[in-house]
A and B are shown apart, each in its own frame.
Chain A
């Protein structure tokens, strides 16, 4: 059964760059769209962006200037970079497959604090 696993630092300083990786447990990464989604503590879900295996990507307009998502099909993983972070970027970050989002990682909490 395919699984997704997020990894990366749990603490990031304000103004720095948040970097996360999502590892896909099989070689299906070339067959789907892959998204990052976040959820601030006690709040709702926010779609961040997606990427396809050909590099095509799309981002939430509210985050577009600070976000970059990349895919590495040779390593079955894709990544998220969010720069110039503030406390408002503190959230559980999920990676998810396709649309509909039929498979999710467990999520990883990233706290922005000095």
Chain B
């Protein structure tokens, strides 16, 4: 299975909104809503921020939102803050009963 495709880097100024794409195939992203997003700060374990495409755990800021269209999912961070600078990964269930992560996106707050 191939990793889901994400842009290597995305940047924005404080207060702006940015969107990270996650492109898969009909064997993963396009087949299920079992699509989640993770935030990882340097030296730390990943943290779940979005699950089932557009659901946010209660402890996660409402500045994070998710969506999906066809084989592509997206994560939007609105009102960008310095603390949002991190790596972000999408992950999808697949038709082979496996999971696959995205290639990862480094978010830089200018």
Pick the interface stretch among B17-25, B73-81, B92-100. B92-100
Q: Is B103 an interface residue (CB 8 A)?
A: yes
Interface 1/0 per residue, A34-71 and B, CB below 8 Å: 01010000001111001000000011111000000000
Query: Given A101-B91, A104-B46, A106-B45, are A44 and B3 neighbors across the interface (CB < 8 Å)?
Result: yes
Bound: A102/B60 CA distance, A: 12
Choose one: B45, B89, B100; the contact of A94 (CB below 8 Å).
B45
Query: Given A46-B101, A61-B98, are A100 and B51 neighbors across the interface (CB < 8 Å)?
Result: yes
Number of interface residues of A (CB under 8 A): 21
Query: Given A101-B38, A107-B45, are A59 and B99 neighbors across the interface (CB < 8 Å)?
Result: no
Q: Is A14 an interface residue (CB 8 A)?
A: no
Q: Are B99 and A45 in contact (CB under 8 A)?
A: no
Choose one: B48, B98, B100; the contact of A100 (CB below 8 Å).
B48
Chain A residues with a Cβ under 8 A of chain B = 35, 37, 44-47, 50, 58-62, 94, 99-102, 104-107
Chain B residues with a Cβ under 8 A of chain A = 1, 3, 34, 36, 38, 40, 45-48, 51-52, 57, 89, 91, 93, 96-104
